[in-house]
Amino acid sequence: MNFYKMQGAGNDFVFIEDFNNEIEDECRLAEKLCDRHFGIGADGLVIVRKSEVAQAKMVIINADGSRANMCGNAIRCFGKYVYEHNIANSTKFSVETGDGVKEIEIILEDANVKYVKVYMGNPSYDGHDIPLNNLDSLIDTDIIVDNKTYRVTTVLMGVPHTVIFGNDRDYDAIGEGSKIEKFHLFKEGSNINFVKVIDKTHIRVDTWERGAGATLACGTGCSASVVVAKRLGLVDKDKEIYVKAPGGELIIDVQGNDVYMKGPAEVTFEGTTNL
């Protein structure tokens, strides 16, 4: 099996093609390939397939074998892959995901891919969409987890994200994020984003991801964090916001209810495996 290893702001993925739908147990395969000791090592497996509604279909499976509808960093890498492998014949094209069809724009510099821009869709605070247990919404509200109080806002940005602002303290993304993920109000768990506001156009985000753990960056998480920060009036509502994650920087633009993400994507290596 041929594979590509790619990363976006440090969030890394194994890419394989499956145009004829030959993979039988893709969740088990993800666990094997993503294992950092006995496999290739990655936060997730991305499968490239044919689509009847877009130029290509992205299937993403987390390192623990669980499925994800959408991943911001993965789809940027996917956009670069599709463009550079001539699956799409334009710098603007669409990709089918578990969260619907996403529009991609390849931004070139000297004929090379500098950034990939993705239309991330519309956020939803609706408790049915997220989904929440018996709750219409969870916006700027205190919850208690493991005897600690957190002021949270939860939004669906392709996948559920809970955003916590805290310039006055440091959070443990692993120790605290893993516990908040399982909070009883989250019907299917939640990704957790710990956010510090640097100024009106810059924030820092550390994310605990369902199925992957603490990652170096999370595109949907950075997008969700900006959406919530704008809603709460913590950043400029009319400007692009620069988001610093441990693995790099993303640029998030919110136009009305539409969210756009821009950032890098790189191939780290390629090879073959018989796992």
Condensed to tens digits (0 to 9), the pLDDT of residues 204-222 reads 999 999 989 999 999 999 9
Tell me the pLDDT band of 83, cut-offs 50, 70 and 90: very high
Tell me: pLDDT of 94 over 90: yes
Tell me which residue of 220, 192, 217 sits closest to 204, measured CA to CA. Answer: 217
Q: What is the amino acid identity at position 35?
A: D
What predicted TM-score, i.e. pTM, was given to this entire model?
0.90
Tell me which residue of 57, 71, 64, 77 sits closest to 3, measured CA to CA. Answer: 77
Using alpha carbons only, give the angle 89, 92, 98 rounded to the nearest 5 degrees: 100
DSSP three-state, residue 223 = helix
Residue 26 among known ligand-binding residues: no
- pLDDT, tens digit, for every residue of 48-63? 999 999 999 999 999 9
- pLDDT, tens digit, for every residue of 185-211? 999 999 999 999 999 999 999 999 998
Average pLDDT of the chain is: 96
According to DSSP, the residues that pair with 60 across neighbouring strands are: 46, 68
Residue 31 among known ligand-binding residues: no
Residue 209 among known ligand-binding residues: yes
Residue 133 among known ligand-binding residues: no
* Fold entry, domain 141-257: Diaminopimelate Epimerase; Chain A, domain 1 (3.10.310)
Residue 166 among known ligand-binding residues: no
**240: how many CB neighbours lie within 10 A of its CB?**
14
Tell me the pLDDT band of 1, cut-offs 50, 70 and 90: very high
Mean pLDDT of all residues in 98-115: 96
* Fold entry, domain 2-120+263-268: Diaminopimelate Epimerase; Chain A, domain 1 (3.10.310)
Most distant CA atoms of the chain, gap in Å: 54
Would you state the pLDDT for residue 206? 96
Residue 20 among known ligand-binding residues: no
Residue 147: phi and psi, rounded to 5, are: 65, 15
Containing 180, the helix (H) or strand (E) segment is: helix 177-181
Q: How far, in whole angstroms, is CA 185 from its chain's centroid?
A: 22
- pLDDT, tens digit, for every residue of 213-261? 999 999 999 999 999 999 999 999 999 999 999 999 999 999 999 999 9
Residue 193 among known ligand-binding residues: no
- Residues above pLDDT 70, as percent of the chain: 100
Tell me the pLDDT band of 170, cut-offs 50, 70 and 90: confident
Calpha distance 239→242 (Å, rounded)? 10
- Residues above pLDDT 90, as percent of the chain: 97
Catalytic residues: 71, 218
Domain coordinates in residue numbering, the chain: 2-120+263-268, 141-257
Would you state the pLDDT for residue 251? 97
Are 2-120+263-268 and 141-257 equal in CATH topology?
yes
